[in-house]
Amino acid sequence: MRSLILALDQGTTSSRAILFDHAGRIRGSAQQEFPQLFPQPGWVEHDAEAIWQSQLAVAQQVMREQQVTAADIAAIGIANQRETTVIWERKTGRPIAPAIVWQDRRTASICEQLRNDDHESVFRAKTGLLLDPYFSGTKVKWLLDNIPDARAKAVRGELAFGTIDSWLTFKLCGRHLTDVSNASRTLLFDIHTLDWDDELLALLDIPHSLLPKIVSSSGIIADTFPTLFGESIPIAGIAGDQQAATFGQTCYTPGMAKNTYGTGCFMLLNIGTEVVASQNNLLTTVGWRHGNTADSQTSYMLEGGVFMAGATVQWLRDGLNIITHSSDVEALACSVPDNGGVVFVPAFSGLGAPYWDPHARGTIIGLTRGTNKAHIARAALESIAYQTADLMKAMQKDTHIPLQELRVDGGAARNDLLMQFQADILNTVVTRPSITETTALGAAYLAGLAVSFWSSVDELSSLWQIDRHFEPAMSSDERQHRLSVWRRAIQRAQAWDQ
């Protein structure tokens, strides 16, 4: 009896493996961090082999610790940090360079040149994205332009490009694949035709032979090499981490939204099976696609991304050394009654939606001699909520639908101070589920549906359980004052390094 699903949750700072049972409960987990590389200001890299080794290690660890064999696992689901770009040699499987992480800003000049050449409207219309260094396409171009012999090898078909889902799948089963949700984050994929686009490839000078085959988010795509886990296990679900979290939050109906508080902060709103173009600097992206039949439906999302959320708390820990562990930030912030007039804009690598300013830089404003580390910690947490409020405002302008509830997940969603302030500043109920590991849960759900471990999305919805509601308690006047101060601080952070 195959009684478990194994979810591989490959994130920006760590790799996790979680076993889920039929009730959607966690039956075991393992996690391992891997190095973050910052070779130059604005550059962020990962060692792709370190990612693979850490992901394989935690998968094997959780199986070993729970005394689980491959025969107990019905399928594997993969969720991954999105946009992070790897190019490797097809023959040897060796990466030609470090992976360029989604946070990396080195391709800002490429994006600016494309905008100056009046190409942004083409990318916007076909991909639902903006021209920003965040996405994979300009990272691929940079690697081909800057790694010796890379372009010539790519033209000869000797290289493979992939986001992290493709890299893991290649290492797990030897196939070169990506799903529609990850493909939609590359600047190379037409979200209307659900295929790679020759015009976009030409504008970025990227050979088609470099690209993976596109598959659905839920469907059996391959079996793992038997040497990895003792015998083969079907890989049956793949989704970018934010789409996976939305699926894990059971946001299956248009109008439902979730926000993930991870390294970055990402809000996704289900808009149904038709593309809706944002007029407020949000992204339109593929959420997921079930199966490979002619009547398979694709769900689309509006998305806004904040680059620095949990990463801001990590900076308090590693950059300022004012906390020992990330979890210490709540107690420190609660040791003062308010932020003491301090406002923190964590634009360390620019600002994401709805500003899209790669030249913004981090700003702490309102400091006085009375400011202490607790005020800075509180302002750091508040900055996460303010950035989320900016996203919600843009979404409401696009859809004209007032949000009744925001479902939350990710590591920082466990922070009660942050969640209450989020409800206050949004004037919206914030709901935290019992299982906040919804990224891994979504990957498990996608895989489980494909192998009939679960029968339908209705069954999955019935499994979702609430841990706590956070009700807004802030007065309207105070809310408007705080948002006004936040907007003034944002203006001071923008276009700083131009």
Contact between 170 and 176 (Cβ < 8 Å): yes
Collapsed DSSP state (helix, strand, coil) of residue 413: helix
Q: What is the CA radius of gyration of the chain?
A: 22
Burial class (CB in 10 A: 0-12, 13-18, 19+), 313: buried
Residue type, 395: M
Which residues are annotated binding-site positions for ATP?
12-14, 263, 310, 314, 411
User: Residue 105 to residues 23, 220, 276: CA-CA distances in angstroms?
Assistant: 42, 35, 28
357: β partners: 351
Which residues are annotated binding-site positions for sn-glycerol 3-phosphate?
12, 82-83, 134, 241
Which residues are annotated binding-site positions for ADP?
12, 16, 263, 310, 411, 415
User: Residue 65 to residues 69, 186, 435: CA-CA distances in angstroms?
Assistant: 11, 37, 21
Give the Cα separation of 323 and 314 in Å (integer): 9
Strand arrangement of the beta sheet that strand 265-272 belongs to: 283-289, 298-306, 265-272, 257-261, 405-409, 429-433, 466-470
The token pair at 482 is: 């705080």
Give the Cα separation of 44 and 349 in Å (integer): 10
Give the Cα separation of 445 and 237 in Å (integer): 8
Which residues are annotated binding-site positions?
12-14, 16, 82-83, 134, 241-242, 263, 310, 314, 411, 415
Q: What angle do CA 46, 50, 56 make, to 5 degrees?
A: 135
Which residues are annotated binding-site positions for glycerol?
82-83, 134, 241-242
Residue type, 189: F
Cα 102 off chain centre by: 9
101 closest CA partner among 169, 10, 171: 10
Burial class (CB in 10 A: 0-12, 13-18, 19+), 124: middle
